[in-house]
Every structure is written in C-alpha cells, then in structure tokens.
Amino acid sequence: MKDSTKEDINSSVTMTTKRGLITDSFKVVKKARNGVKREKRPPTPPPQKEPESEMAHEEELQRLRQFDLDWRFGPCTGISRQQRWERAKRHGLSPPEEVRDLLLQTHTGPDYNLSLWSEYPL
C-alpha cells in the first residue's frame, strides 16, 4: 500500500519537473546580508571582574567539578549537583559539606548547579 502511493508521488514530481521548475514561478530572492551581519557581531566583551573574585570563582567551579568526578558518589550525568549530593548523603557516603555550601549560594547560575557534562546530550 505504502509503496504504491510513493510511486504516485514520484511520478507526479517527475511530471512537474518536465513542465518547469518551481523557481520559474517563485524567484529566489537573496537577502542583503552584509550590513546586517556586521551589526549583529557581539559588542566588546564586558569589563573584567576583579582578579581575586575571579580566581575564587574559578576555584569554586574547580571544586565542584572535582565533586562531579568523584566515583564514590555515583554517576553525575543527568541530575543536578544538589540532587547528587543529597543522594550521597541519603546513602551515608558522607559527601563534603563545603560542596553543599557552595551549591546553596543564591547568586550562582547553571554552571554551579548543573553537572560538568550538562551541555552534552548524554
């Protein structure tokens, strides 16, 4: 059943191509992109944060990544760090408290809360 309908479609397509291309009736219009492209370039990067807080920020992220890669607490993909910490606590694996404190800070974003591999479709 399916094959016969496919053949019908194919034959109808070939028939229209013999008569003419669709681009004969609808011309291809190329948009003028040059000016728009340049305008959409990102503006200059934001001014650098102070070096100390930048370093502390990096250290905290590094600490969290170490927590992610610690094999004792199970796999880290697909769940948030908070959920993984709680699972480790529930099973008595004594996860480090400092990780929890880092996660409970309010100004943090997804780079703190989600695991190392969260951007990959695992």
Positions touching other proteins (CB under 8 A) are 1, 71-72, 74-75, 77-79, 83, 86-87, 90-93, 122
Residue 101 carries which side chain, given as an amino acid letter? Answer: D
CB of 63 to other proteins, least distance (A): 22
State which residue, 66 or 83, has the beta carbon closest to other proteins: 83
CB of 7 to other proteins, least distance (A): 16
State which residue, 1 or 28, has the beta carbon closest to other proteins: 1
- How far apart are the C-alpha atoms of 77 and 69, rounded to whole Å? 10
Backbone φ and ψ of 93, nearest 5°: -90, 5
List C-alpha distances in Å: 62 to 34, 88, 100. Answer: 42, 19, 14
CB of 108 to other proteins, least distance (A): 22
Helix (H) or strand (E) holding 10: helix 2-19
Between 51-69 and 81-90, two packed helices, what is the crossing angle to 10 degrees?
A: 50
State which residue, 56 or 93, has the beta carbon closest to other proteins: 93
State which residue, 57 or 87, has the beta carbon closest to other proteins: 87
